Amino acid sequence: MTISILGINHRTAPVELRERVAFGPVQLEQALSEIKQLPGIEEAVIVSTCNRTELYCHGHAEHQPLLHWLAQFHGIGPSELEQHHYFHTQEDAVAHLMSVASGLDSLVLGEPQILGQVKQAYQQAKHFSVVGGILERLFQNTFRVAKAVRNETEVGQNAVSVAFAAVSLAKHIFGDLKHSNVLLVGAGDTSELVAQHLVQQGVSSLSVANRTLQRATELAQRVGAEAHSLSQLGELLPNADIVVSSTASTLPIIGKG
């Protein structure tokens, strides 16, 4: 019996490919059910974020069938993933998971969001009854290791996240952000973190545009912004000094048009 992981991330694949193999919330139940039915697989957890998609399995998971399943599920050819994926087993798989959960394998070193995302992935797999004793112990130990890394090292000492990096870049370009008009496209967790950092920098002119106006309104109320629908982007963009786009869309929201 082995623990294995097959995945792609920001180090191995371009963003276009990562977007094509990402799992949306509505796909997870079907995906986990299908993985569980693959020969030899007894347990599974899917970690899927903007920077990575990883399949953690316990059993006798074979490399190529797992790769072909991932490609088939998303309607792409296995050859497109061949040069961009990785496959680890046993100690290497365990070390990789702990590195991911600790923020050591992130685009921004030490960013804290990934631990919450790994925990959520584990809880979702548990909810759909595809986690048993082995992955249960693995993930619980991983959470303890990640907590120890945070508490006993300096990796989490500074506020590092993609959201923080985006605001830091804007501040580097503009200097004082107090007089900047900022537009957030998307109303998810990352956009909320960006908004919080912007408010801390004194930004007062903040707008949120989202596919669902209700979500935009809820976020806008929490951070003191104006809410808009995506259909209003054409009017909002010319007046924005800074635009931060963070959505779950598989296609660019802001294109050449």
Residues tagged active-site = 50
Q: Are strands 41-48 and 52-59 parallel, antiparallel or unpaired?
A: antiparallel
Return d(Cα 237, Cα 136) in angstroms, integer. Answer: 47
Count Cβ atoms within 10 A of the Cβ of residue 26 and give its class: 0-12 exposed, 13-18 middle, 19 or more buried: exposed
Give, as one character, the DSSP assignment of residue 49.
Answer: -
> Strands (DSSP E) along the chain, which ranges?
2-9, 41-48, 52-59, 86-89, 181-185, 205-210, 226-229, 242-245
Q: How many CB atoms lie within 10 A of CB 155?
A: 16
Give the residue among 188, 173, 165 at the shortest CA–CA distance from 242: 173
Identify whether the C-beta of residue 209 lies closer than 8 Å to the C-beta of residue 188. no
Q: How many CB atoms lie within 10 A of CB 121?
A: 20
Tokens of 71: 């490609």
Tell me the three state secondary structure of residue 3. strand
Give the residue among 207, 110, 196 at the shortest CA–CA distance from 151: 110
Longest C-alpha distance within the chain, in Å? 59
* DSSP letter string, 109-136: TT-SHHHHHHHHHHHHHHHTT---HHHH
